[in-house]
């Protein structure tokens, strides 16, 4: 009888320890899920911020290139106009 009581006690101890481990594992899983969710949220914010900065820099670069291109076109237009005027003057002089 003594042996049966000891077995019952060991069985009860093992069962309760298994339940405690299961509760601990559940808590750890819950905490890990919270940490993962937080890390994902932070990463998403950082990615959005970096994307926004990159878009701003791209827009600024595009604006600068457009400005430089417009300036070049204006300069080229003046040079062509000047050349046409010179050519027309020379032609007029040659015709006289």
Label each residue of the chain as H, E or C.
CHHHHHHHHHHHHHHHHHHHHHHHHHHHHHHHHHHHHHHHHHHHHHHHHHHHHHHHHHHHHHHHHHHHHHHHHHHHHHHHHHHHHHHHHHHHHHHC
Q: Report the chain's mean pLDDT, rounded to a whole number.
A: 81
pTM for this entry: 0.45
Q: Where are the domains of the chain?
A: 1-96
pLDDT in tens, 62-85: 888 888 888 888 888 888 877 777
Residue 94 has pLDDT above 80, yes or no: no
pLDDT in tens, 6-57: 787 777 777 777 666 666 666 778 888 899 999 999 999 999 999 999 999 9
Query: What pLDDT is attached to residue 41?
Result: 93
What integer is the mean pLDDT of 58-65? 88
């Amino acid at each position: 009888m003594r042996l049966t009581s000891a077995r019952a006690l060991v069985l009860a101890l093992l069962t309760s320890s298994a339940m405690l481990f299961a509760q601990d594992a559940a808590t750890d899983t819950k905490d890990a899920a919270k940490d993962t969710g937080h890390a994902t949220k932070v990463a998403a914010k950082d990615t959005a911020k970096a994307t926004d900065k990159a878009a701003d820099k791209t827009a600024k670069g595009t604006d600068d290139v457009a400005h430089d291109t417009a300036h070049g076109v204006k300069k080229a237009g003046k040079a062509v106009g000047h050349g046409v005027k010179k050519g027309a003057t020379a032609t007029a002089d040659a015709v006289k």
